């Protein structure tokens, strides 16, 4: 469990070589494309009937219509445990507060007299938001996807989540209740790759969307890859992961609990401790078995912690530790060190950073106000998590008057001929007075 990688006593390799040494789940999206492609094509060609047959085959639910009736959405909210409702309402309020500050405003730049460029921020017209319902029904993902879309100004929002046999073929009631709280009344009981195909091509009463966001399994990810271009996507999310950078001031009870909490998501979840303290590593290894035994999903957690995607990395000092976590580029990164905020501000690559003993990843999953839809698999080196920006497009509006164009006609002419595109130059020259 949590195999050790000892990087002490020698110079660290380069970033790419270092990343290759670190634990990480392998997700072979290409291996499932052969399964996903005909499934998506079937939905494209046969629409709702294909969705019905695929859902019956894969989910064991045979429903004539996969659109969730509005009354079922309202009933889910009416039946929601009051403590869960209060927690969802607080989560919504905090996520709205954080994401409201991400709203963009149009900016006009006067380049020269008579010449301006305005950057307009325009929301996507229609989005499809996917909410997983396999090992865990992620009702919190409803909040994380819907709120930034609403703040961005998206006016047409559809949610899809897998049907549950235990709930009459409807999505999880908590997912439906979260939709009701957010005013979402277009919900579909369809999961997996077929849900992405429904969003991409349209089927039944679901009209095609322009953008799909939300986490999912390898089949969902493969479908997003397949349909990318027809639709926009947020990312190709892989198994979830946490890295913890810790020194000898960290509480091993906290560290063990946080590694376990992320491993609870999925047998492929990654849990990595990077530490300068061998004593901390030993203490965490001693604590993990007891904590795992005391929790519900112990088999799933043990599989994740025993896997090649999880481990403990020993480093000489915090500088080396920062190099390691930057090379790893974790979806979630906890900093449990002296001067934790100062250390956190030196991090370059992470989906989200959780600072100090009292900011565990679980807080961010639900109610910190941050977004929990984050880049995985090292994609935090180049990508950001879900935000209001995900649902906006910047459009440059160029407006030059006659004099402003005349002043740069010579430059256009020079550059157009340098590129051997004389018609570009002519389009400007013919506008000039003789």
Residue in 332, 396, 411, 417 annotated catalytic: 332
- Is 424 within any annotated ligand binding site? yes
Q: Residue 83's Cα: distance from chain center in Å?
A: 27
- Is 254 within any annotated ligand binding site? no
Closest residue by Cα to residue 23 from 293, 239, 179, 171: 239
Report the alpha-carbon distance of residue 285 to residue 289 in Å, rounded: 8
- Is 240 within any annotated ligand binding site? yes
* 119 carries an active-site annotation: no
Take residue 26 and report the two structure tokens written for it.
């392998």
Kindly provide the b/e burial profile for residues 364-403, where b requires at least 16 CB atoms within 10 angstroms of the residue's own CB: bbbbbbbbbbbbbbbbbbeebbbbbbbbbeeeeeeebeee
Angle made by CA atoms 287, 290, 291, in degrees to the nearest 5: 80
| Ordered DSSP codes for 59-120 | HS---S--BPPHHHHHHHHHTS-HHHHHHHHHHHHHHHHHHHTT----EEEEEETTEEEEEE
Residue in 331, 382, 396, 402 annotated catalytic: 331
183 SS3 class: coil
- Is 219 within any annotated ligand binding site? no
- Cα-based distances in Å from 59 to 135, 163, 285, 316, 380: 13, 7, 38, 50, 33
- Cα-based distances in Å from 400 to 70, 121, 226, 424: 50, 20, 41, 17
Pairing relationship of beta strands 270-275 and 311-314 according to DSSP bridges:
parallel
- Is 265 within any annotated ligand binding site? yes
Q: What is the crossing angle of helices 402-418 and 422-429, to 10°?
A: 160
Report the alpha-carbon distance of residue 132 to residue 50 in Å, rounded: 21
Using alpha carbons only, how large is the chain's radius of gyration in Å?
A: 25
Closest residue by Cα to residue 236 from 308, 156, 130, 327: 130
- Cα-based distances in Å from 261 to 88, 108, 247: 20, 47, 20
* 332 carries an active-site annotation: yes
- Is 366 within any annotated ligand binding site? no
- Is 30 within any annotated ligand binding site? no
- Is 167 within any annotated ligand binding site? no
Residues belonging to the binding site are 130, 194, 217, 240, 262, 265, 332, 365, 419, 424
Residues belonging to the binding site for NAD(+) are 130, 194, 217
Question: Residues with catalytic annotation?
Answer: 331-332
Residues belonging to the binding site for substrate are 240, 262, 265, 332, 365, 419, 424
Residues belonging to the binding site for Zn(2+) are 262, 265, 365, 424
């Amino acid at each position: 469990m949590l195999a050790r990688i000892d990087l002490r006593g020698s110079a660290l390799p380069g970033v790419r070589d270092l990343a290759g040494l670190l634990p990480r789940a392998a997700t072979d999206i290409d291996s499932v494309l052969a399964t996903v492609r005909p499934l998506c094509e079937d939905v494209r060609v046969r629409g709702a009937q294909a969705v019905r047959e695929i859902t019956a085959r894969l989910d064991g639910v045979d429903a004539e219509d996969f659109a969730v009736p509005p009354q079922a959405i309202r009933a889910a909210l009416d039946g929601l445990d009051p403590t869960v409702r209060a927690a969802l309402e607080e989560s919504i309020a905090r996520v709205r507060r954080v994401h409201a500050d991400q709203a963009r405003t149009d900016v006009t730049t006067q380049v020269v007299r008579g010449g301006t460029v305005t950057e307009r921020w325009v929301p996507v017209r229609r989005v499809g938001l996917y909410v997983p319902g396999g090992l865990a029904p992620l009702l919190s993902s409803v909040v994380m996807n819907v709120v930034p879309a609403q703040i961005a100004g998206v006016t047409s929002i559809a949610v899809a989540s897998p049907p549950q046999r235990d709930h009459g073929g409807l999505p999880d009631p908590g997912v439906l209740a979260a939709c009701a709280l957010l005013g979402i009344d277009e919900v579909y009981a369809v999961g997996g790759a077929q849900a992405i195909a429904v969003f991409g091509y349209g089927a039944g009463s679901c009209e095609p969307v322009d953008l799909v966001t939300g986490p999912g399994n390898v089949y969902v990810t493969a479908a997003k890859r397949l349909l990318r271009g027809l639709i926009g996507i947020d990312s190709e999310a892989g198994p979830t992961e946490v890295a913890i950078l810790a020194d000898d001031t960290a509480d091993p009870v906290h560290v063990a609990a946080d590694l376990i909490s992320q491993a609870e998501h999925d047998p492929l979840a990654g849990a990595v401790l990077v530490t300068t303290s061998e004593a901390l590593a030993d203490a965490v290894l001693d604590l993990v078995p007891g904590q795992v035994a005391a929790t519900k999903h112990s088999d799933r957690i043990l599989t994740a912690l025993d896997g090649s995607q999880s481990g403990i990395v020993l480093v000489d000092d915090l500088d080396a530790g920062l190099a390691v976590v930057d090379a790893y580029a974790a979806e979630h990164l906890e900093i449990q060190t002296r001067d934790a905020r100062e250390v956190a501000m030196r991090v370059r690559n992470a989906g989200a950073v959780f600072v100090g003993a009292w900011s565990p990843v679980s807080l961010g999953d639900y109610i910190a106000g941050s977004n929990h839809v984050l880049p995985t698999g090292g994609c935090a080196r180049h990508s950001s998590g879900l935000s209001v920006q995900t649902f906006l497009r910047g459009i440059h509006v160029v407006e030059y008057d006659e004099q402003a164009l005349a002043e740069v006609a010579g430059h256009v002419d020079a550059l157009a001929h340098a590129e051997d595109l004389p018609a570009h130059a002519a389009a400007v020259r013919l506008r000039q007075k003789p």
